[in-house]
Amino acid sequence: MRLADARILIADDEADLLDNLAEIVEDEGATVVRASTGAEALARASGGFDVALVDVGLPDAEGDTLVPRLREAAPGAEVILMTGQGSLEAAIRAVRVGAYDYVLKPFDPDALLASVERALRLVRAARAEQGLRKALRQERDFTAAVLDTAGALVLVLDREGRVVRFNRACEALTGHSYAEVAGRPIWGLFPFVPEEAQARAMFQAMLDGGKGASAELHWRVRGGGQRLIAWTNTTLPDETGRVAYVVATGLDVTEHRRAEHELQALHVRLGEEHARLLQAEKLSSIGQLSAGVAHEINNPLGGVMSCFRALRAGTIPAARLPEYFETIDDGLQRMASIVRGLLDYARQRPPRREAVDLASVTALSVRLVEPSVRGKGLRLVDELSPGALRAEADRSQVMQALVNVLLNAAHASPEQGEIVLRPAQDGHRVGVRISDQGPGIPAEIRHKVGEPFFTTKPEGEGTGLGLSITHGIMKAHGGSIEIDSAPGAGTTVTLWLPAAG
């Protein structure tokens, strides 16, 4: 089977000859497409064939016009002309315009088959090559498309560090075309000397067999300036396994890193801002406490002063002197303790967690607030017993939270009202409940209470920060603040903290 699977077009106007030829090639395993005119041959050709055997003497066609059209109709196919002595010249002309060969009539079947066979080999080789080329082109187009559509920078360097690939993202970023940089060293694109050195060292390490190095390095960009690129490198070996190319893929992370830095700075600023707010609220509550403190100091101060005047006048009998000194000493100590309490409260100190007796911080807070609520005739009832509940907490912060809640309760309380402090316990939480007999918090503002700067108090009296700071303090401790309030039934605020131990 010399022509197995071949498709042979035979065009001849002599029916006997056509049959004869068909039989010869069919015997060799070919499929035959028959035509008796040039027009018919062209019509059949479009169905595809490998080799055509065409009689030069077809009544409606000249060989030199028919051959190119046939080859056009079936790309890659070859045409062999059959000719008598009389039309040999026409056959030769046809070979010039693309026929593969011609055979002289009457022909030797073997010679004819040999020619068809050669043509067929040529056709098959050409088509196979065409297929390969197509596949290769597709592969190349595909790779190029991938390299160019991915937003990543793709850079390939040879062993000398010269650019052999510079994708569109590289072109867009740097403003240099591939043609400009092809075959040139890449190092000029690094604006900073130490980074260029780092890039060179990394490149050398890759050549020496290093694996997947990565680094963030700047590149000069179009229009001046530079961008920070996160590079990841790999290598491509040649047939012998030696590194032939270094492939670097890069992502522009300039914005990313900038945003990270800004976020960090923002965190720092927020921290500072928070500390400032904390202090602002404290100062505001100190302002509110100071009237009471001044009043509190006034009593012992009066006693001390009258004793001192009597002593200076020298009218005190010697036997009564100790009693006078005792009164002065007592008064001074009371004043010192009040001032110390206020200073203690006002001082900013780094937070420190310890086991805190809730009753003792509560008592301190009550003492601090009490003087300023006495004018309103309020009674502070502290029902906590010393040592009963211990919280894991920062004493000074818990005191600040308590003072704020107590001052809120005092503000809300009616004249002669009562504020009661009770202990609370629930599993691993311990707390203090502060109940007042005020009007309660109206439902329509309840969700706003605790928002920073939300206050219903006139300017100068409220900062609107107290509850938000109290909430912050409780949260930082892993505790919480609970507010129960019904209009007309007063308000109970519970501060919850983790129990100590």
Site stretch for Mg ion (CB under 5 A), options 36-44, 225-233, 268-276, 464-472: 464-472
Edge-first strand order for the sheet with 163-166 is 163-166, 153-158, 243-252, 226-237, 214-220
Site stretch for ligand ADP (CB under 6 A), options 217-225, 241-249, 262-270, 450-458: 450-458
Q: How far is the CB of 463 from Mg ion (least distance, A)?
A: 7
Q: Site size for ligand ADP, by CB under 6 A? A: 20
Cα 374 to Cα 390: distance, rounded to the nearest angstrom: 29
Q: Which is nearer to ligand ADP, 355 or 486 (CB)?
A: 486
Q: 462, 474, 479, 481: which one contacts ligand ADP (CB under 6 A)?
A: 462
Residue of 410, 337, 340 whose CA lies nearest to 375: 410
Contact predicate 368/394, CB 8 Å? no
Edge-first strand order for the sheet with 78-83 is 31-35, 7-11, 51-55, 78-83, 101-104
Considering the rule CB under 6 A, would residue 482 count as an interface residue with ligand ADP?
no
Find which of Mg ion, ligand ADP, none residue 412 binds, CB within 5 to 8 Å per kind.
Answer: ligand ADP
Dihedral of CA atoms 426, 432, 436, 441 in degrees, nearest 10, equals -70
Q: 213, 454, 482, 500: which one contacts ligand ADP (CB under 6 A)?
A: 454
Q: 464, 472, 481, 495: which one contacts ligand ADP (CB under 6 A)?
A: 464
Helix (H) or strand (E) holding 482: strand 480-485
Q: How far is the CB of 415 from Mg ion (least distance, A)?
A: 19
Cα 171 to Cα 221: distance, rounded to the nearest angstrom: 10
Q: Which is nearer to Mg ion, 36 or 288 (CB)?
A: 288
Q: Which is nearer to Mg ion, 25 or 407 (CB)?
A: 407
Cα 81 to Cα 3: distance, rounded to the nearest angstrom: 18
Q: Over the range 267-284, which residues count as b (16 or more CB within 10 Å of their CB) and which as e?
A: eeeeeeeeeebbeebbeb
- The residues in 394-413 that bind Mg ion, with binding defined as CB under 5 A, are 408
Considering the rule CB under 6 A, would residue 397 count as an interface residue with ligand ADP?
no
Q: Which is nearer to Mg ion, 300 or 466 (CB)?
A: 466
Considering the rule CB under 6 A, would residue 408 count as an interface residue with ligand ADP?
yes
Contact predicate 320/354, CB 8 Å? no
Considering the rule CB under 6 A, would residue 419 count as an interface residue with ligand ADP?
no
Considering the rule CB under 6 A, would residue 417 count as an interface residue with ligand ADP?
no
The token duo for 15 is: 């029916």
Q: How far is the CB of 470 from ligand ADP (least distance, A)?
A: 7
Q: Which is nearer to ligand ADP, 144 or 489 (CB)?
A: 489
HEC states along 385-445? CCCCCEEEECHHHHHHHHHHHHHHHHHHCCCCCEEEEEEEEECCEEEEEEECCCCCCCHHH
Maximum CA extent, the chain: 169
Considering the rule CB under 6 A, would residue 277 count as an interface residue with ligand ADP?
no
- Residue 98: is it exposed, middle or buried by C-beta count within 10 angstroms (0-12/13-18/19+)? middle
Q: How far is the CB of 358 from Mg ion (least distance, A)?
A: 21
Q: How far is the CB of 331 from Mg ion (least distance, A)?
A: 32
Query: Closest residue to Mg ion, Cβ-based?
Result: 466
HEC states along 104-156? ECCCCHHHHHHHHHHHHHHHHHHHHHHHHHHHHHHHHHHHHHHHHHCCCEEEE
Considering the rule CB under 6 A, would residue 435 count as an interface residue with ligand ADP?
no
Q: Which is nearer to Mg ion, 199 or 412 (CB)?
A: 412
Cα 41 to Cα 47: distance, rounded to the nearest angstrom: 10
Q: How far is the CB of 452 from ligand ADP (least distance, A)?
A: 8
Q: Which is nearer to ligand ADP, 20 or 279 (CB)?
A: 279
Q: 300, 341, 431, 466: which one contacts ligand ADP (CB under 6 A)?
A: 466
Phi, psi of 299 (to 5 degrees): -60, -60
Q: How far is the CB of 451 from ligand ADP (least distance, A)?
A: 8
Q: 244, 456, 480, 498: which one contacts ligand ADP (CB under 6 A)?
A: 456
Q: 38, 331, 466, 490: which one contacts Mg ion (CB under 5 A)?
A: 466
Residue of 173, 153, 499 whose CA lies nearest to 353: 499
Q: 36, 83, 372, 491: which one contacts ligand ADP (CB under 6 A)?
A: 491
Considering the rule CB under 5 A, would residue 472 count as an interface residue with Mg ion?
no
Q: Which is nearer to ligand ADP, 113 or 465 (CB)?
A: 465
Which phi-psi region, left, alpha or beta, contains residue 52 (left: φ > 0; alpha: ψ -120 to 50)?
beta
Considering the rule CB under 5 A, would residue 431 count as an interface residue with Mg ion?
no
Q: Which is nearer to Mg ion, 236 or 280 (CB)?
A: 280
Find which of ligand ADP, Mg ion, none residue 338 binds, CB within 5 to 8 Å per kind.
Answer: none
Considering the rule CB under 6 A, would residue 365 count as an interface residue with ligand ADP?
no
Contact predicate 364/341, CB 8 Å? yes
Both ends of the chain: CA-CA distance in Å? 98
The token duo for 53 is: 């055997």
Q: 25, 82, 199, 467: which one contacts ligand ADP (CB under 6 A)?
A: 467
Binding residues for Mg ion, rule: CB under 5 A, are 408, 466
Binding residues for ligand ADP, rule: CB under 6 A, are 404, 408-409, 412, 436, 438, 441, 449, 454-457, 462-468, 491
